[in-house]
Structure 1
Amino acid sequence: MPHTPIDLAGVLVAVTGSARGIGLATAKAFYAAGAHVAIGDLDAGLAAEAAAELGERASGHALDVTDRASFSAYLEAAQAAHGGPLEVLVNNAGIMPTAAFLEQREEIDRMTMEINYFGMATGLRLALPGMIERGRGHIINVCSMVSVYPLQGLAGYNASKFAARGLTQSVRLETAGTGVNVSAVLPSAVKTELASGIDFGLMPQVEPEDIAAGVLRAVRTGSPEISVPRYLGAAAKAGTLFPELVMRPMRRLLRDDAPLTHVDAAGRAAYHKRIVGNGE
């Protein structure tokens, strides 16, 4: 079935983890395109503030993506607040703890999977039935370039994003022909709190607004996967074709160990404290 772009004017878009960073930039982009936007975040107060700043077509809601009841309540509240069905869901909520694998606490790895993978899966399970019944809708999963090109010091995060990308690809196949689209957006390192304190050197870094533009491009084009920046996806996939001995010098040049060896601990402390203390 050919892709039919969704006219964003007046439709309801839900964005998880959207009181800050990529999620907030994405909410703003959809709002600017004329959509009604439901901002969902673990920090309910910050979500309400962000919605108030956007305007009357935005609402803020409490959301814990690791809690199915919370996720369900968020989507129901969003539809009640805006008086219409959910047309677009952006599964954006995620965390990125950094540490060498053998030094990372197991509970942090489990938390990472609960948020980055299982939270996304819950969103798909809750939103897809209604979309399939109506024969219309789009779900965009914010994955990561590390699902193609993993970095040192991010083993749990790498694993969660590999899982998220595989989930997206599988569900896209299963929903083909239903009128519902499922896409992945793969950001490089983004200049948000997630990457605070890490010096990525020559590795490309992008702005949250660049990711937001990629999400909207996915909705408009129906593309299965969009890399941000665009060229990096092709380069990363091409890199998997070369022998490891050839790639190692290139990886060193690009600082693939940046999350381990080029970290300002003080600059990253606040983020680590927030995600360990609050879970998102």
Structure 2
Amino acid sequence: MATATTIAGKVVVITGGARGIGFATAKHLRDQGAQVAIGDIDEAKVKEAGADLGLEVYGRLDVTDPDSFAAFLDQVERQLGPVDVLVNNAGIMPAGRFDEEPDRVSRRIMDINVHGVIVGSKLATQRMAPRRSGHVINIASLAGEAPTPGLATYCASKAAVLALTDTLRAEYREQGVEFSAVLPTFTNTELVSGTAGAKGMKNAEPEDIAAAVAGLIAKPKRRVAVTKLAGALVASQYFLPTKVSEYLAHAFGLEKVFLDDVDTAARSAYERRARGEDE
């Protein structure tokens, strides 16, 4: 388990820090003595979150805009010092049938979930590699390895994040920069609003993901799945016949979680924001 002494004093930047996993991670690391900065596209919400957490640096951050991202990192380094850890957490998860997904929404998912991680990873590496120290932690998803009907583009985006993270881990291994991925299962944030989750499986809590991030900072490694049980079940598909793994997915109800078994009214507010309809 991560201890405060392994995290205290580290400068940590978290994207998408105004809500959910990002906010929980900021709180957890702050409580362990890290100097945390949070950015989020929702300026009003991130200001509220930053004030609630008592942070010195927080503000609007558009992860898809390199200038916005660079300016935020510059501000962090001016006020807190060199960034030790970047947590690329910002992401969206619109759900629905693939053939009905507007091209604009497909591009938005890839722009935020993939291009945003690329931008952040690149800018962080440019700062970290010359001093041969730093850690980039990308919040991916078990959906990047587990086909989930209703989330086709989201699954593709998280698979891309996993491939990117593994490649950068190999590329910068000798330059002192660590790269890790966190793979949450369904987590109780707005992303899963209006859904019931997998049958017989408990959703993770944002605090579980926060603890996993802290663990990676204390002891870097390639990946960590949350929950361990969900991670083991997803990993098992690589050792089982296709028909067996597809049967298990059916048994857990994954075919319907984001399609037929959705409370559309409960999910509508999140869907509007994720799709950019409130902007």
TM range (shorter): over 0.9
Q: Residue 90 of structure 1 aligns to a residue in which SS?
A: strand
Looking at structure 1, the residues matched to 62 and 5 of structure 2 have their Cα atoms a distance apart, in angstroms, of 27
Displacement of 1:276: 1.8
Question: 68, 80, 90: which one pairs with 2:87?
Answer: 90
TM normalised by structure 1 equals 0.94
1:105 offset after TM fit, Å?
1.0
Q: Matched residue pairs, number?
A: 274
The reply on whether 1:99 has 2:96 as its aligned counterpart is yes
Query: C-alpha displacement at 1:127, in angstroms?
Result: 0.6
The match for 2:48 is 49
Out of 53, 59, 62, the residue aligned to residue 61 of structure 1 is 59
Per the alignment, do residues 80 and 88 of structure 1 end up closer, same or farther by CA in structure 2, a change over 3 Å counting? Answer: same
Match of 1:219 in 2: 217
Distance 2:174 2:139 in 1: 23
Is residue 20 from structure 1 mapped to residue 19 from structure 2 by the alignment? yes
CA RMSD of aligned residues (A): 1.7
Which letter maps to 1:103?
E
Name the SS of the counterpart of 1:19 in structure 2: coil
State the Cα deviation string for residues 42-97 of structure 1 (Å, max 9, x = none). Answer: 11222122111112x44211101111111111111122232x11110000000001
Specify the alignment match of 2:126 in structure 1.
129
SS in 1 for 2:12: strand
* TM-score for the superposition, normalised by structure 2: 0.94
Q: Which residue pairs with 1:152 in the alignment?
A: 149
Task: Please say if 1:271 is aligned against 2:270.
Answer: yes
1:29 maps to amino acid? H
Distance 1:144 1:214 in 2: 13
* 1:210 alignment partner AA: D
CA positional deviation for 1:239: 1.6
Secondary structure of 1:112's match? helix
Could you tell me whether the CA contact under 8 Å between 1:239 and 1:247 is conserved in 2? yes
After TM superposition, give the deviation of residue 135 of structure 1 in Å.
1.3
Contact 2:195–2:262 (CA under 8 A) maintained in structure 1 = yes
Aligned AA (1:180): V
Structure 2 residue runs without a partner (length 5+): none
Query: Contact 2:272–2:278 at 8 Å: present in 1 too?
Result: no
Write the deviation string for residues 117-172 of structure 1: whole angstroms up to 9, x where unpaired: 11000001101121111111111000000111121000000000000000000000
Q: Find runs of 4+ consecutive structure 1 residues off by over 4 angstroms.
A: none
Distance 1:279 1:155, change over 3 A: farther
1:9 match: 8
1:164 partner letter: V
Q: Is the CA contact (8 Å cut-off) linking 2:17 and 2:89 kept in structure 1?
A: yes
| Structure 1 runs not aligned, ≥5 long | none
Q: Percent identity?
A: 42
Sort the Cα spacing of 1:273 and 1:20 in 2 relative to 1 into closer, same or farther, 3 A.
same
Check whether the contact 2:7–2:214 (CA below 8 A) recurs between aligned residues. Answer: no
Aligned to 2:170: 173
